[in-house]
Amino acid sequence: DACAAPGGKTTHLAELMADQGKIWACDRAASRLKKLQENVQRLQLQSIEICTGDSRSFPQFTATADAVLVDAPCSGNGTLHRRPDIRWRSTPETVKELAQLQGELLAQAATWVKPDGVLVYATCTLHPQENERVIESFLEHHPHWQIEPPSPNSSAAAFCSPQGWIKVWPHQHQMDGFFMVRLKRMVKVCLSSF
């Protein structure tokens, strides 16, 4: 979990995994990771290891993960109905800066994923510059990755776009706005000529 604090998704993942395996919960906000540590202790989870620091600087994770979650810092405009102050804090410049950060986090997290592994990118914004443009740029620069849409029978399929990403619209779905995409790292096949 590349942007783990305060840890709700991290602890949920640990419970889905029956507290087996290893989850590295990374975040640069040590103060916010304290809440995660409290929940890890309260839930008696053994599979979570907390790593304080910027996720762009953990080279020790290269090609070690079956799956990585990047719930990236964002403008949060998908939560306007609960947090109307966001509209006055978000500027074109902050969105541009966030998109740059999101792209960097995604690119670094991609190095952590083993071949045939999964990378999930998520935000609580609906801004295309922080979502679709980040993914399009990533795929352009990382040809061994592809979008893996949800299966047609899954509940997520109702929110799926033709491109394969999920976008939840508050006015249509009566919940926070949200963007998510599952990316699959393809196994490189080297064919040698005889």
Residues involved in catalysis: 124
Structure tokens that stand for 28 in this block:
């640069």
State how far the Cα of 132 lies from the Cα of 128, in Å rounded to an integer: 5
The region, left, alpha or beta by phi > 0 then psi within -120 to 50, assigned to residue 55 is alpha
String of DSSP letters for 67-106: EEEEE-----GGGTTT-TTHHHH--HHHHHHHHHHHHHHH
**Residue reference for tokens 């008696």:** 44
The distance between the two most distant Cα atoms of the chain, rounded to a whole number of Å, is: 65
